[in-house]
Amino acid sequence: MTTVPTDGKRKHVFIRTYGCQMNVYDSDRMADVLRPLGYALASAPEQADLVVLNTCHIREHASEKVYSELGRLRDEKQLRRAEGRDLTIAVAGCVAQAEGEEIVKRQPAVDIVVGPQAYHRLPELLAEAERKAAVHKAGKRVPGAGVLDTDFPAESKFDHLPAPQGARGGSAFLSIQEGCDKFCTFCVVPYTRGAEYSRPAAAVVAEARQLVANGAIELTLLGQNVNAYHGEAADGSTWSLARLVREIAGIDGVARLRYTTSHPRDMDDDLIAAHGEVPALMPYLHLPVQSGSDRILEAMNRRHGRDLFLGIVDRLRTVRPDLALSSDFIVGFPGESDSDFDDTMRLIEQVGFASAYSFKYSRRPGTPGSSMPDQLSESVKSARLAALQSLLGEQARVFNVSKVGQSVPVLFAEPGRKPGQIIGKTPWLQSVYAEGPQRLIGRIVETRLIEGYANSLAGEIVTGAYEAAA
Ligand code: SAM
Ligand code: SF4
């Protein structure tokens, strides 16, 4: 076990999170694991004894950012060592999983490399790293610096992680599923996060209750393929995501429920019906389509075509007419022609998205896409991305403006940039800022939307809503 300071001086950890919400959740859980060891959270690497980079490997650029941050941390470590102090550097997340030992070879200042399935082992890894650092200080040779754990253990990390601590601004993430068996030809997730795994339903429901007891009123269920959820229930049956959503929505205190990220193939009838029947399920769905061309969807091994996606959208809008849709798009996949790209633009026009994430195709070593012929030039990818983002940006603006004049419930989550300002989310996951007291953070307050922009709305708290929320 690593040493807990007894001199009243707390240790500090700084965790930098890259990538998706699953990483945000994992970072919180790492903080939970480290707290009993005496680690408080630091707000900058300079104030920390331990820095954890919780990395993302989804695009090439993402891992390069990690290496340049590691260069800066190495400099900080060298400075401290010259003063007789130390800095422990850990790399977690998908880059850790994918590159393992390579990280320590490329940046020997790294002390710990830990994959997403091994966070519960952080205390042992820290103890081992401390032992190695002590040997180093004594001037002895360190047998292979860097402590590594990138196994996919048979037991679930969830069985070993401590109970979650709480909610930020009334909102909390809850990881229910990890990994992916779909093997889209562009994607590293099946290699870095491993096979699809669903947590048992009872464990998820217990964690949901705990989060609500700790102050959460909004829960977002997370998974790389969250709607492929098939968790074992206490009676031996298997619960789908729809079944789980209905159960969690029934917990007293759950005002808002969301889930992400979904795959079109796994949008089953019951889940679609739940959007019309479960009031806590918010009218917003992130449903990645990637492309509007059947030819490219096939080459991506997405296992769904354009029509299946459009059919799901129609059915969802039938049961929940005010549903806002969001999606992920990749432009410039190998072999994508002008006409394939036009198909994507036409799909966007047909659906009308409230928000979206869009990316240039990035060649990931080891994925089938990286060795496909007809890789596109950067200039073609950039031009297509600009056209696509301009269309999606305009749709987002139009969607925001369409809500102006309405009074809607906003969950305020944090202080705004200006004094006296607070920021929250509408049911459609739009950011709203308004003048209001900090005590409204973590509460849902009726707010009139007065102006709409590309990425946010200005709001005015409805008179009397303070008292209702108090
Ligand atoms: N599981 C989700 C799905 O089925 O779409 C998404 C997972 S991935 C973490 C998030 C997004 O990153 C993907 O939807 C895709 O748009 C993007 N992405 C993944 N690999 C990529 C690559 N090689 N190049 C560009 N974008 C990529
Ligand atoms: Fe990656 Fe496809 Fe799995 Fe999503 S469904 S995580 S894009 S392989």
Contacts of 140 (CB under 8 A, 6+ apart): none
Can you tell me which atom of ligand 1 is nearest the CA of 328? 16
Positive or negative torsion for Cα 187, 193, 195, 196: negative
Angle at 448 between CA 443 and CA 449, to 5 degrees: 105
Contacts of 441 (CB under 8 A, 6+ apart): 169, 170, 412, 413, 414, 415, 422
Cα(358) to ligand 1 centroid in Å equals 9
Cα(187) to ligand 2 centroid in Å equals 6
Q: Confidence band (pLDDT; 50, 70, 90) for 187? A: very high
Q: What is the mean pLDDT of residues 215-231?
A: 96
Give yes or no for residue 184 CB within 6 A of ligand 2: yes
pLDDT value at position 2?
A: 47
Query: CA–CA separation, 112 vs 92, rounded Å?
Result: 8
pLDDT value at position 465?
A: 66
Q: What is the mean pLDDT of residues 237-244?
A: 98
By alpha-carbon position, which residue is closest to atom 13 of ligand 1?
328
Query: CA–CA separation, 110 vs 104, rounded Å?
Result: 6
DSSP 318-372: HH-TT-EEEEEEEE--TT--HHHHHHHHHHHHHH--SEEEEEE----TTSGGGG-
pLDDT at position 469 over 80? no
E-strand ranges in 195-337 read 197-198, 218-222, 230-232, 238-240, 256-260, 284-286, 324-331
Cα(259) to ligand 1 centroid in Å equals 17
224 vs 129, 208, 274, 313, 422, CA distance in Å?
A: 31, 19, 20, 20, 31
Cα(389) to ligand 2 centroid in Å equals 22
* 41 neighbors 12 (Cβ within 8 angstroms): yes
Contacts of 357 (CB under 8 A, 6+ apart): 326, 327, 328, 329
Give yes or no for residue 182 CB within 6 A of ligand 2: yes
- The pLDDT tens digits for 322-364 are 999 999 999 999 999 999 999 999 999 999 999 999 999 999 9
pLDDT at position 139 over 80? no
- The pLDDT tens digits for 420-440 are 999 999 999 999 999 999 999
Give yes or no for residue 260 CB within 6 A of ligand 1: no
Instruction: Pinpoint the alpha helices (H) of 100-192.
Output: 101-106, 122-137, 189-192
With the most atoms of ligand 2 within 8 angstroms of its CB, the residue from 56, 57, 181, 182 to mutate is 182
Buried-exposed string 52-65: b where 16+ CB fall within 10 A, e elsewhere: bbbbbbbbeebbeb
DSSP 302-323: -S--HHHHHHHHHHHHHH-TT-
Angle at 375 between CA 373 and CA 378, to 5 degrees: 170
Neighbouring C-beta atoms of residue 362, cutoff 10 Å? 18
Q: Which element (helix H / strand E) includes 39?
A: strand 39-41
Q: What is the mean pLDDT of residues 140-155?
A: 62
* 9 neighbors 37 (Cβ within 8 angstroms): no
E-strand ranges in 124-205 read 147-149, 171-175, 177-178, 197-198
User: What whole-number percentage of the chain has pLDDT above 70?
Assistant: 93
Q: Confidence band (pLDDT; 50, 70, 90) for 59? A: confident
Buried-exposed string 393-405: b where 16+ CB fall within 10 A, e elsewhere: eebbeebbeebee
pLDDT value at position 143?
A: 45
By alpha-carbon position, which residue is closest to atom 2 of ligand 2?
184
User: What whole-number percentage of the chain has pLDDT above 90?
Assistant: 80
Q: Confidence band (pLDDT; 50, 70, 90) for 227? A: very high
Cα(58) to ligand 1 centroid in Å equals 7
Cα(257) to ligand 1 centroid in Å equals 23
pLDDT at position 165 over 90? no
Give yes or no for residue 225 CB within 6 A of ligand 2: yes
Can you tell me which atom of ligand 2 is nearest the CA of 180? 3
Cα(333) to ligand 1 centroid in Å equals 12
Give yes or no for residue 56 CB within 6 A of ligand 1: no
Q: Confidence band (pLDDT; 50, 70, 90) for 138? A: low
Cα 121–chain centre separation: 22
* 217 neighbors 255 (Cβ within 8 angstroms): yes
Cα(64) to ligand 2 centroid in Å equals 22
Give the range among 221-225, 286-290, 465-469 with minimum mean pLDDT.
Answer: 465-469
Q: Indicate the residue type of 244.
A: L
Cα(361) to ligand 2 centroid in Å equals 14
Give yes or no for residue 303 CB within 6 A of ligand 2: no
Give yes or no for residue 180 CB within 6 A of ligand 2: yes
Give yes or no for residue 87 CB within 6 A of ligand 1: no
Give yes or no for residue 121 CB within 6 A of ligand 1: no
Give yes or no for residue 261 CB within 6 A of ligand 1: yes
Torsion of CA 187, 188, 194, 197, to 10 degrees: -40
Query: CA–CA separation, 410 vs 431, rounded Å?
Result: 9
Q: Confidence band (pLDDT; 50, 70, 90) for 151? A: confident
Give the range among 20-29, 129-138, 202-211, 443-452 with minimum mean pLDDT.
Answer: 129-138
pLDDT value at position 320?
A: 98
Give yes or no for residue 328 CB within 6 A of ligand 1: yes
Cα(173) to ligand 1 centroid in Å equals 20
Cα(381) to ligand 1 centroid in Å equals 16
pLDDT value at position 155?
A: 59
pLDDT value at position 6?
A: 47
- The pLDDT tens digits for 249-299 are 999 999 999 999 999 999 999 999 999 999 999 999 999 999 999 999 999
Only one residue has tokens 């193939």, namely 265
pLDDT at position 136 over 70? no
pLDDT value at position 3?
A: 47
**In the 8-state DSSP scheme, what is residue 391?**
H
For all residues of the chain together, what is the average pLDDT?
A: 92
pLDDT at position 1 over 60? no
User: Among candidates 328, 334, 327, which has minimal Cα distance to 363?
Assistant: 334
Give yes or no for residue 187 CB within 6 A of ligand 1: yes
Give yes or no for residue 2 CB within 6 A of ligand 2: no
Q: What is the mean pLDDT of residues 199-220?
A: 96
pLDDT value at position 31?
A: 94
Give the ligand with the smallest distance to the CA of 23.
Answer: 1
What is the bridge-based pairing of β-strands 11-17 and 39-41? Answer: parallel
Can you tell me which atom of ligand 1 is nearest the CA of 329? 16
* 408 neighbors 446 (Cβ within 8 angstroms): yes
